[in-house]
Amino acid sequence: MEARAIIDRPCGDHDASMEQTISGTHSVPAVEKVLIILEVLARSRAGLTLRELAGRCGIPKSSVHGIVLTLQRCGYLHRNQRSSRYLFARKLLRLANEALSSLELRERAEPHMQILARQIQLPVHLGIIEFDEAVIVAKMESVLSYHPMGSWVGKRMELHCTGMGKALISNWNDTELERLAQERTLPRHNDNTISSVKRLKDELATVRRLGYAIDDEEDVLGFRCVGASVTTATVL
């Protein structure tokens, strides 16, 4: 079960100076740096080290260190002691979950997700597109069986190799797909991953014909997923 959404570009992607004003009021560069760091971390699959964060954010390492240390002390980031990578901590995920809980889409979808989870005895997810990624905004576990899946509300996933992602972009035109491939490079997770524009176009043609998308162990080995796109409010 999927849905489409149009989301503004992230703070870290703008080209204007951090000193730009809105309605005559100056923005705060320190706050913008915090938001850029959080946005870059959100796109990482396994967290980032201090050096990686500084490089990807374009912010001096000393500044990044002070920010992530503050966020860590406040409970919003966690630093893996073995890998030295910074990850979102539960406090930040809880805030995101509380914000997402107010979405009308989620409220309307959850009763249907509960029914589907009971029928198929598998977890059911609801997702949207944000910054060329699929983002889970709701998850319903099955009460009859347990399937260990590394998914949670707020998780970001690739569009080209997940059932949810392929369903969401099934009606994208060639220009949009080529832009996606150029900007995100269609990263390969394993030998099953679709990593070329031609294969992706062929796959999405099949998705449109069938009315649903399949992740055949393309994202994570051992897991298969089915995704379908909800394109009108009347469906819910």
Angle 154-72-106 from CA coordinates, rounded to 5°: 15
- CATH code for the domain in which residue 189 is found: 3.30.450.40
- Distance of alpha carbon 40 from alpha carbon 60, whole angstroms: 15
> Is residue 117 in some structural domain?
yes
pLDDT single digits (tens) 36-82: 999 999 888 778 999 999 999 999 999 999 999 999 999 999 998 88
Q: Are residues 113 and 229 in the same domain?
A: yes
Q: Give the residue numbers spanning the domain of 128.
A: 102-235
Same domain, 108 and 158: yes
pLDDT for the residue numbered 4 = 34
| pLDDT tops 50 at residue 18 | no
Model pTM?
0.60
Tokens of 141: 């576990």
Query: DSSP class of residue 176?
Result: H
Pairing of the two strands 2-3 and 229-230: parallel
User: pLDDT, tens digit, for every residue of 180-229?
Assistant: 999 888 999 999 999 999 999 999 999 999 999 999 999 999 999 999 99
Same domain, 110 and 197: yes
- Tokens 């491939």 belong to residue: 181
Q: Domain count of the chain? A: 2
